[in-house]
Structure 1
Amino acid sequence: MRGTDVRVLQDFLTKAGVKTKVDGQYGPATTSNVKRWERKSKLPVDGKVPKTDASTLRMQVAQGTAGTQSIPAPAPTANATLGADGKAIAPVGAPPEVVAVIAAANEIVGKPYKYGGGHGDWEDSGYDCSGSESYALHGADLVSRPLNSSEFMSWGEPGEGQWITSYAHGGHSFLVVAGLRFDTGYNDSSSSGPKWSEKMRPTDGFTVRHPEGL
């Protein structure tokens, strides 16, 4: 078992206090962490996540503390928030693809800028702008291979998306996901490399695209 749903599960486990690597594979490590979460939540311990357990986990993540299940449903278009660690927190009610993109992007936050980084291999020591964008989108299987900034000019559908928007021209590309910008430049600090920011950047000259349905 692997893919977008597993990435979402792994991301939610971490947010619920059981740190789990987001790799999209339901292997022994993830199974063990599911059992830890089940014990913590006083649920039957079997390493599996049926719909009832998934609902409990989602509510825990929404509230920010484990064990409480009473929480109102937020608006489906609520913005993501930026944590103190520089990583994004997906809004409750976001589509699984959005949660997976955010989880994947969080994996490379803090990596250095590296020209061509992320284009030869998904896992790299650093990432450039389009390599960072590709890595994030690949987390939800929205790209099958790394794209360069020029290729992002024709990726997906034209115009802004409700949840995910790509901005690209021949020399640069970046994403806006649930209201946060994921970019390697124009950030709030002097360092470069993939980061989330609440600050937007000028978009004149950029081609605007989005994944279908998002």
Structure 2
Amino acid sequence: MRGTDVRVLQDFLTKAGVKTKVDGRYGPATTSSVRRWERKSSLPVDGKMPKTDASTLRMQVAQGTAGTQSVPAPAPTANATLGADGKAIAPAGAPPEVVAVIAAANEIVGKPYRYGGGHGDWEDSGYDCSGSESYALHGADLVSRPMNSSEFMSWGEPGAGQWITSYAHGGHSFLVVAGLRFDTGYNDSSSSGPKWSTKMRPTDGFTVRHPEGL
């Protein structure tokens, strides 16, 4: 799917209540939009648009029923756990996006803190706070590019999510995923860099956001 077909898809997704930039490219941003639409439509979430899904989307738009009902992920029944290696283990029954975010975050656990790290290439020698958050969220196609702390203040939907919550202000950002905090500071060791923690940090002054449906 390319060109005009992708533009039509992007327009239909927006009409379905999933705002999507119309640029004719089936890149990470459109894939993320397709995933959100699939979740809202109770379809398998894979970010792809086969003919059967395209027909469903087209019918929804034609009937004016698209985007009228959002189907959130099931509420957590257990938190993620922290392994002896410092990596998180997703709870049973977690949505695929949550599993993917945790897996991506685990890839950079133990990397050193580096200001500006993760904002050029996804793979870097070190990561700062928002670079770490961006890397984790990119694992589930929830962001299409590295974002800074200020940008996370308007990312997603307002308030805490059931599974994933972003906390951000102009100088810092971090995630809470399935009950564990993923952060580059206020951690349980003297070293800095992306780490998981079972302990929460003070959140006064932080803007609280979450990805739609999670």
TM (norm. structure 2) is: 0.66
Contact 1:118–1:127 (Cα < 8 Å) also in 2 = yes
Paired with 1:207 and 1:138, the residues of 2 have a C-alpha distance of: 20
Greater Cα offset, 45-54 or 88-97:
45-54
Contact 2:36–2:212 (Cα < 8 Å) also in 1 = no
Q: Alpha-carbon deviation of 1:49?
A: 20
Q: Alpha-carbon deviation of 1:78?
A: 1.2
Q: 1:54 and 1:181, CA in 2 relative to 1: closer, same or farther beyond 3 A?
A: farther
Q: Alpha-carbon deviation of 1:170?
A: 0.0
Contact 2:175–2:183 (Cα < 8 Å) also in 1 = yes
**CA deviation vs aligned residue, 1:81-127 (integer Å, no higher than 9, x gap):** 00000000000000000000000000000000000000000000000
**CA deviation vs aligned residue, 1:116-153 (integer Å, no higher than 9, x gap):** 00000000000000000000000000000000000000
**CA deviation vs aligned residue, 1:32-64 (integer Å, no higher than 9, x gap):** 999999999999999999999999999999999
Q: Which consecutive unaligned segments of at least 5 residues does structure 1 have? A: none
In the alignment, which residue of structure 2 is the partner of 1:41? Answer: 41
Q: Alpha-carbon deviation of 1:20?
A: 33
Q: 1:198 and 1:144, CA in 2 relative to 1: closer, same or farther beyond 3 A?
A: same
Q: Alpha-carbon deviation of 1:76?
A: 3.9
Contact 1:152–1:173 (Cα < 8 Å) also in 2 = yes
Contact 1:81–1:89 (Cα < 8 Å) also in 2 = yes
Q: 1:111 and 1:213, CA in 2 relative to 1: closer, same or farther beyond 3 A?
A: same
Identity of aligned residues (%): 95
Q: Alpha-carbon deviation of 1:77?
A: 3.0
Contact 1:74–1:92 (Cα < 8 Å) also in 2 = no
In the alignment, which residue of structure 1 is the partner of 2:153? Answer: 153
Q: Which consecutive unaligned segments of at least 5 residues does structure 2 have? A: none
Greater Cα offset, 62-71 or 105-114:
62-71
User: Number of residues paired by the alignment?
Assistant: 214
Q: Alpha-carbon deviation of 1:187?
A: 0.1
In the alignment, which residue of structure 1 is the partner of 2:186? Answer: 186
Greater Cα offset, 90-99 or 9-18:
9-18
Paired with 2:210 and 2:169, the residues of 1 have a C-alpha distance of: 14
Contact 1:59–1:69 (Cα < 8 Å) also in 2 = no
Q: 1:81 and 1:121, CA in 2 relative to 1: closer, same or farther beyond 3 A?
A: same
